[in-house]
Structures are given as structure tokens and as C-alpha cells.
């Protein structure tokens, strides 16, 4: 069955520190992998996506993620966190077929302390 696991419900980091948010997936077909960010009162904004090719993908706002097929993981990283990065982060996996659904993880809430 398709699923996405984000083991960390809540993470607190200091501003300027590095960040890694974990994501593991289970998917029967070749996955498309995504990270979305949700700020309070806002919709879901796409940070980055992986379809194929280079397993290290760069996204907006200085985020990157690395696809590791052997570990079924797609962890999100940022070398230096800014206070404005405080938000909820969702990992998602989708199929190659159009119109198919995404499967979202439960999200990781990021708090940034000064």
C-alpha cells in the first residue's frame, strides 16, 4: 500500500542552524516525490519535487532534498534556517499517471528559535 511517513511530528531548531526533515515512503510504482510547506492560514506551496535523474534536487528558499531509493527516503535539508522557515512541512508521493492522487505524510511542524 502507498504511504508516506514523517517520523518527526515537531522539530525545533535555532536560527542559523542546519535542518533535516525526514520522509520515508512506500509506493508500488515509480514515485514522484514532493515537499510542500504550509504557513499558518496559507495553502500548500511546493518546495521541490523529484521525478528522475539527479537524486539531489534543489528547491525554493534554499531547500534541497535527496532521494535514496535503497532507503525509500526523501529527506529535506537546509544548511541554515531562517525564522521565516517556521511552518508545517509535508512530504508527498504521487504516481506517474495523470489525475492520480498524492499521498501526504502527517507533516512536521518546524519551530525556529532566535
Partner 1 sequence: EPEVTQTPSHQVTQMGQEVILRCVPISNHLYFYWYRQILGQKVEFLVSFYNNEISEKSEIFDDQFSVERPDGSNFTLKIRSTKLEDSAMYFCASSDLGNEKLFFGSGTQLSVL
Which residues are at the interface with partner 1 (CB under 8 A)?
32, 36, 41-46, 49, 51, 90, 92, 94-107
Q: Nearest distance from residue 4's CB to partner 1, in Å?
A: 8
| 28 within 8 A of 56, measured Cβ to Cβ | no
Q: Nearest distance from residue 32's CB to partner 1, in Å?
A: 6
Q: Which is nearer to partner 1, 15 or 72 (CB)?
A: 72
| 47 within 8 A of 76, measured Cβ to Cβ | yes
Q: Which is nearer to partner 1, 17 or 60 (CB)?
A: 60
Q: Which is nearer to partner 1, 74 or 107 (CB)?
A: 107
Q: Which is nearer to partner 1, 6 or 85 (CB)?
A: 6
Residues 84 and 21: their CA atoms lie apart, in Å, by 16
Residue partners of 73: CB distance under 8 A and separation at least 6: 22, 23, 24, 25, 66, 67
Q: Give the residue among 89, 105, 103 at the shortest CA–CA distance from 31.
A: 103
Q: Nearest distance from residue 93's CB to partner 1, in Å?
A: 10
Amino acid at each position: 500500500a502507498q504511504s508516506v511517513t514523517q517520523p518527526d511530528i515537531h522539530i525545533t531548531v535555532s536560527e542559523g542552524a542546519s535542518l533535516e526533515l525526514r520522509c520515508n515512503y512506500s509506493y508500488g510504482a515509480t514515485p514522484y516525490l514532493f515537499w510542500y510547506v504550509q504557513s499558518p492560514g496559507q495553502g500548500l506551496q511546493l518546495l521541490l519535487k523529484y521525478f528522475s535523474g539527479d537524486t539531489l534536487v534543489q528547491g525554493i528558499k534554499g531547500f534541497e532534498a535527496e532521494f535514496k531509493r535503497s532507503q525509500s527516503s526523501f529527506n529535506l535539508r537546509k544548511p541554515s534556517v531562517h525564522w521565516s522557515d517556521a511552518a508545517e512541512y509535508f512530504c508527498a508521493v504521487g504516481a506517474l499517471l495523470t489525475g492520480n492522487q498524492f499521498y501526504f505524510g502527517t507533516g512536521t511542524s518546524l519551530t525556529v528559535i532566535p
